[in-house]
Amino acid sequence: MKLVIIDRDGVINFDSDQYIKAPAEWKPIPQSLEAIARLNHAGYRVVVATNQSGVGRGLFGMATLNAINEKMYRALANVGGRIDALFFCPHTNECNCDCRKPKPGMLLDISKRFNVNLKNVPFIGDSLKDLQAAQAVGAKPILVRTGKGEETNAGQGLPKGTIQFVDLNDAVKHIISH
């Protein structure tokens, strides 16, 4: 099975330091939805893995998170794309859970659900936490410079083997061509 794991905020849609708290705040980054559709059409299963601590902080509830994700699904369907599964961590850092990136719990759940070894599976993210989670399970860390990506790139300690692209669209072009 061909699989790609993608972070949501800052990769598929514009991020906000105040969190994406309502469907009206969810706005796709140009060409991100079309990039996911190209992955689908090239035979890839696409899974989103996203930290959503706004739920744990009480900034929005599960119904709102579901409505935000539903807006993403509809927007993707309009360009011929889909997300095969969405995994999220609703916890705050203080919870010290196993599912919050950079810990590997969410990715291990994806591995179990799809019955696939994540070794060298592309994981596209914009934060060091995304890249560290990818590294922890042997996935291929891919940094995009949208969202927090420029800041992440300027920091120290990118995991070994991290490759970088301007945005999700460029990362997908690379994945499909290799």
Return the active site residues: 7, 9
Q: What are the strands of the beta sheet with 140-144, ordered from one edge? A: 85-89, 44-51, 2-6, 122-125, 140-144, 163-165
Which DSSP string do the residues of 55-107 spell out, in sequence order? Answer: HHTTSS-HHHHHHHHHHHHHHHHHTT---SEEEEE---GGG--SSSTTSSHHH
Alpha carbons within 13 angstroms on the beta-carbon side of residue 60 total 18
Alpha carbons within 13 angstroms on the beta-carbon side of residue 70 total 9
Assign 37 to helix, strand or coil. helix
Assign 170 to helix, strand or coil. helix
- Give yes or no for a cis peptide into 102 (omega within 30° of 0): yes
